[in-house]
């Protein structure tokens, strides 16, 4: 336990089954950091579990804006979801000794995360229900929680994370590509000079053997994936500032290549790439949906003599041959893309009968999570109050304290 910034931090670890249907089988460890105010009275406050966006991202290590607000009412539990951070992390190094990595990786979706959370809840609370705050993919996990273990929940708050209950991966990407194009138009309207720079970079990458710090090549389509951040509030400016220093004379600058690598490398979160489409799998294979559906949107075609348009939160098969952090996982990723027997992640009947209080922020112009699917899901979950807003981008929770404050007021009403 340690203290700083007026807060107390305690660490919790718990061994859980790798396969929850086989409690006597192999076990992994999950890690969570509890944060509460230093006031002794805070020890008696209820628990709030935070489910991080992703998939495959660890819980925050900094002190996000919303955490201060949450700690006024709760003991906040920051869970490293299985396979991330300090929860038996999955990387090319740790997977090297696993005989069947695809079968192993298939155990790291939302249903398993919820089962882990239930064991952690009982360990921390003595089987009392707790509150849950889910951001983005964490909201998807919260809906899975409501579907299969609502008895563990006191209240649920979701920000930018209401999934389509029956949407396939094809449905998700067919809706996502137009949103990404719209965000490109907003970006280039703000920075029109960047259109010529982006085209110049693509042309240079075709002629130059540009190498990233790890020695791997920056190709035109890898450069195109810099659009992954365009749905966050500050990322327009970040991309612009990256592009404005792209060249040192006729060559791409070293500063640019280092900064690009920091954005596009999956060395820190390979699980995100491997499972990104699998989070939409329910009873059918996803089959590299982002790659297949992209063919329907010619605006992303870099081979045409047309403006460059950045892609968004999409993972493609070539990621696993061009990114050194992902290359050892290529076979496993391909098997996961072809896996057809995914179990259901949501129970529409149980959600319709839900009695747990739920408040959900739906960001009207969200680039990552489809507004119409979110609205349909909000209408399908009983006892849910939606807040539909265009004041914030997808990362609204981390921008202003009043986002969480408003949702807590809603869920308590």
Instruction: Give the separation between CA 349 and CA 400, rounded to whole angstroms.
Output: 35
* Contact (CB, 8 A) for 29 and 112: no
Beta bridge partners of 52: none
Instruction: State the CB neighbour count (10 A cutoff) for residue 241.
Output: 11
Displacement of CA 109 from its chain's centroid (Å): 12
Three-state DSSP class for 405? helix
Instruction: State the CB neighbour count (10 A cutoff) for residue 231.
Output: 22
* Contact (CB, 8 A) for 70 and 48: yes
Query: For 22, phi and psi rounded to 5 degrees?
Result: -130, 75
394 is catalytic: yes
Instruction: Give the separation between CA 103 and CA 17, rounded to whole angstroms.
Output: 15
DSSP label at residue 29 = E
221 is catalytic: no
What is the phi-psi region of residue 218: left when phi exceeds 0, alpha when psi lies from -120 to 50, beta otherwise?
beta
For the record, the structure tokens of 28 come out as 């992994």
Instruction: Give the separation between CA 113 and CA 93, rounded to whole angstroms.
Output: 22
Among residues 87, 104, 111, 136, the one annotated as catalytic is 136
Among residues 276, 319, 394, 395, the one annotated as catalytic is 394
57 is catalytic: no
* Contact (CB, 8 A) for 367 and 129: no
Q: Name the pairing type of β-strands 27-37 and 7-17.
A: antiparallel
Angle between helices 235-243 and 254-264 (to 10 degrees): 150
What is the helix (H) or strand (E) element at residue 157, kind and residue range?
strand 153-159
Give the side-chain half-sphere CA count within 13 A for 330. 10
Among residues 22, 24, 305, 341, the one annotated as catalytic is 341
Catalytic residue numbers, as ranges: 136, 341, 394
């Amino acid at each position: 336990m340690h203290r700083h910034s007026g807060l107390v931090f305690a660490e919790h670890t718990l061994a859980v089954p790798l396969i929850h249907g086989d409690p006597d089988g192999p076990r992994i460890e999950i890690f969570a950091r509890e944060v509460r105010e230093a006031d002794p009275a805070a020890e008696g406050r209820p628990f709030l579990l935070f489910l991080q966006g992703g998939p495959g991202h660890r819980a925050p290590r900094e002190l996000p804006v919303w955490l201060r607000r949450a700690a006024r009412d709760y003991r906040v539990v920051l869970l490293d979801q299985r396979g991330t951070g300090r929860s038996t992390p999955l990387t090319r190094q740790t997977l090297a000794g696993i005989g069947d990595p695809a079968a192993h990786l298939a155990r790291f979706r939302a249903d398993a995360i919820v089962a882990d959370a239930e064991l952690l809840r009982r360990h921390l609370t003595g089987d009392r229900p707790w509150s849950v705050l889910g951001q983005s993919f964490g909201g998807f996990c919260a809906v899975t929680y409501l579907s299969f273990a609502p008895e563990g929940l006191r209240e649920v708050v979701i920000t930018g994370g209401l999934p389509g209950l029956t949407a396939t991966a094809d449905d998700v990407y067919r809706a996502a590509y137009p949103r990404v194009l719209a965000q490109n138009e907003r970006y280039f309207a703000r920075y029109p000079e960047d259109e010529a720079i982006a085209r110049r970079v693509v042309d240079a990458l075709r002629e130059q053997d540009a190498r990233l710090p790890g020695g791997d090549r920056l190709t035109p389509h890898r450069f195109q994936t810099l659009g992954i951040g365009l749905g966050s509030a500050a990322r327009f400016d970040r991309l612009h500032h990256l592009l404005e220093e792209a060249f040192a004379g006729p060559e791409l600058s070293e500063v640019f290549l280092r900064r690009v690598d920091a954005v596009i490398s999956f060395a820190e979160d390979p699980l995100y790439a491997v499972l990104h489409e699998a989070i939409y799998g329910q009873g059918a294979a996803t089959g590299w949906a982002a790659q297949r559906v992209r063919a329907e949107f010619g605006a992303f075609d870099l081979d045409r003599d047309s403006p460059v348009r950045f892609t968004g939160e999409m993972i493609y098969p070539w990621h696993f041959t061009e990114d050194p952090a992902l290359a050892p996982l290529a076979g496993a990723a391909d098997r996961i893309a072809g896996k057809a027997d995914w179990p259901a992640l949501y129970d529409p009947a149980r959600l319709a009968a839900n009695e747990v209080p739920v408040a959900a922020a739906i960001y009207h112009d969200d680039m990552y999570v489809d507004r119409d699917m979110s609205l349909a899901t909000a209408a399908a979950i009983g006892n849910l109050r939606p807040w539909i807003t265009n004041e914030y981008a997808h990362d609204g929770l981390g921008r202003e304290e009043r986002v969480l404050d408003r949702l807590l007021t809603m869920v308590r009403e």
